[in-house]
Amino acid sequence: MSAMKIAMVGAGAVGGTLGFLLDEAGFDVTLIDVDQAKIAKIRDEGLTVIMPDGDSRTRNVKVTTDPKDVGPVDLVQISVKGYHTTSAAELSRPLVRPGTYVLSLQNGLKNLARIAAVLPDAIAVGGVTAHSAMPLGPNVIKYNGGLGGISIGRFDGRDDPGLQRVVDAFNATGIATNVICGDVRIPIWRKLLANVSCNAVAALTGFTGRQLVEFPPTNELIRALAEETAEVASAQGFDFAELEYAGDFAIKALTGVGDNKISMLQDVEAGRRTEIETLNLAVVERGEAYGVNTPLNWMVGILVQALEQKMLFEREAAQSPPVDQSPPEDTPPTVTTSSSATDNPTVDQGVSR
């Protein structure tokens, strides 16, 4: 059987790293991204990934901005922020034929439903991973590694022996990968407990993982957010062990981050939009649907949105032309006299009126 043909839609940190590793393992991989400058840089200089042990590797991977250059593939991985999922799925249409797997390892809710709605001929596959990476430049990525590996399963819950090819491909990269038995939404919600509890708090405080854990008020807030989110999961009928100790689970997951910065904080520091809509605000939406109050998720969600709006205001101000405050050329010069200011009623004393 020939090696799988794979397209990574989104050549960011995670998509670039996994695409790099799959290419290195011998698969036919193409990275696709709408950022023309990034694609040009990778095409000209190669893609460099700095491994968790510090080893730097560079490969000349295939890249394009146009999926039509690639054609139908066996596996598409959507590797973009949640707010771009629909547009990334639409971009992927030329890559899909009946039976193509379309994989999402993205954070948050709504991604699989959006993929399935746009690409009905594809097989939507969801999954989770704790592996992370961060961009150091357009064509340079620092791969942090992570605890565990990758777990994937069909969105519709069906057993599918063909999915083993996808599992084998990722196993060939050295990342242990397995098929999820049962409802793929359960591991997604399990990861969501940690994401909604930690990401927004990191973005709002600027704290690293270690600082979030060690500062008692943020530690307490993270636990409370996890417990509130667990109530929403339980109301939907989900039942998994971590719901009973959601706060401890979130802190344990955060401990693994150490001195690294969580992705939402990286987004804020880079002036990028965050995934708050598919994280905390998605929990608020589900809470409303199932009769669970979620004041903490609502609060941090609104605060992150306000932070995004502040960045937008600052960008708009920076792009606006400076206001010319010099007087028009036909304005007569100011005439000064020997009269004191108090004798001249037209002089502004700086007193509010």
Enclosing domain of residue 10: 5-182
Burial label for 310, CB within 10 Å (0-12, 13-18, 19+), is exposed
Whether residue 201 sits in one domain with residue 168: no
Residue 272 lies in a domain: yes
For residues 60 and 41, give the distance between their C-alpha atoms in angstroms, rounded to a whole number: 11
Is the domain of 158 the same as that of 216?
Answer: no
Residue at a domain's end among 182, 198, 216: 182
Same domain for 230 and 108: no
Residues 213 and 144 in one domain: no
CA torsion sign for 223, 229, 234, 235 is positive
In this structure, the answer to whether residues 253 and 163 fall within a common structural domain is no
pLDDT number for residue 320: 77
Domain count within the chain: 2
* Structure tokens given for 169: 């491909």
Catalytic residues: 191
> 86 and 47: one domain?
yes
Final residue of a domain: which of 182, 216, 248?
182
d(Cα 143, Cα 131) in Å, to the nearest integer?
8
Q: Of the residues 120, 151, 182, which one is the last residue of a structural domain?
A: 182
> Would you say residue 280 lies in a domain?
yes
Cross-strand pairs, 58: 48
Q: How far is CA 164 from CA 9, 17, 97, 253, in A?
A: 21, 21, 19, 28
Instruction: Count CA atoms within 13 Å of residue 14 on its CB side.
Output: 18
Q: In this structure, is residue 351 part of a structural domain? A: no
Amino acid at position 280, single letter: N
Q: Is there a single domain that holds both residue 235 and residue 294?
A: yes
* Residues 312 and 267 placed together within one structural domain of the fold: yes
Q: Establish if 324 belongs to a structural domain.
A: no
CATH number at residue 138: 3.40.50.720
Are 253 and 309 contained in the same domain? yes
Q: Report which secondary-structure segment, H or E, holds 29.
A: strand 28-32
| pLDDT at residue 350 in the model | 38
Structure tokens at 285: 């939406």
Within-domain flag for 339 = no
- 247 and 124 share one domain: no
pLDDT for 333: 54
Give the CATH number of the domain where residue 242 resides.
Answer: 1.10.1040.10
Asked if residue 331 belongs to a domain, the reply is no
Mark whether 89 and 219 lie in a shared domain: no
Same domain, 18 and 136: yes
- Mean pLDDT (10-residue bins), the chain, 353 residues: 89 96 97 97 98 96 98 98 96 97 95 97 96 92 90 95 96 96 93 95 96 98 98 96 96 89 91 94 97 98 96 87 64 50 38 35
- According to the model, what pLDDT value does residue 138 have? 95
